[in-house]
């Protein structure tokens, strides 16, 4: 509802990748809370991003190559995006798993979608439809109900 899924026009491959990503992300939450709780969040973030880069290079470079002829301004924007949209969120995510556990972190993490919708509306003047508002409300209500009935460690 939040992404405006109706009328349904998404590829089966995209849906399968999305489901696999959700399963892997859920596994990462549980695994990191149980097995990696003694590791510093910054170190864990660094190694996660390093291994992501290695696997991306293995997957991407042999077939597509690497574009290095970008303007300086593009590199500045890439650095800002990497810090604000990758490193900082992942580090805070690992830190919150250590402080409140994987379940509570995952529930609170669902606020990402409503935040993205509001940010898109405020920053990029994106339109928000009635169905999207209903979906956002359902997410907020679900997060509220889960947090209301769970005990934060």
- How is residue 19 written in tokens? 């489901």
32: exposed, middle or buried (Cβ count in 10 Å: 0-12, 13-18, 19+): buried
Flag whether pLDDT at 124 surpasses 60.
yes
**Which residue is listed with tokens 């009935």?**
149
Mean pLDDT of the chain, nearest integer: 82
For position 132, what pLDDT does the model report? 82
Beta carbons within 8 Å of 98's beta carbon, 6+ residues apart: 33, 37, 41
Query: What is the model's pTM?
Result: 0.71
CB atoms within 10 A of CB 35: 9
pLDDT in tens, 70-79: 899 999 998 9
For position 53, what pLDDT does the model report? 84
CB 39 within 8 A of CB 97: no
């Amino acid at each position: 509802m939040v992404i405006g899924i109706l009328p349904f026009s998404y590829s089966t491959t995209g849906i399968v990748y999305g489901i696999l990503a959700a399963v892997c992300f859920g596994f990462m939450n549980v695994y990191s809370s149980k097995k990696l709780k003694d590791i510093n969040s910054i170190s864990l973030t660094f190694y996660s991003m390093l291994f992501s880069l290695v696997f991306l290079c293995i997957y991407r470079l042999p077939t597509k190559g690497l574009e290095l002829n970008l303007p300086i301004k593009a590199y500045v924007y890439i650095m800002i995006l990497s810090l604000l949209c990758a490193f900082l969120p992942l580090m805070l995510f690992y830190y919150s798993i250590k402080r409140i556990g994987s379940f509570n972190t995952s529930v609170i993490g669902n606020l990402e979608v409503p935040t993205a919708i509001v940010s898109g509306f405020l920053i990029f003047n994106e339109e928000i439809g009635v169905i999207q508002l209903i979906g956002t409300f359902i997410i907020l209500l679900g997060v509220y109900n889960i947090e209301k009935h769970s005990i934060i460690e």
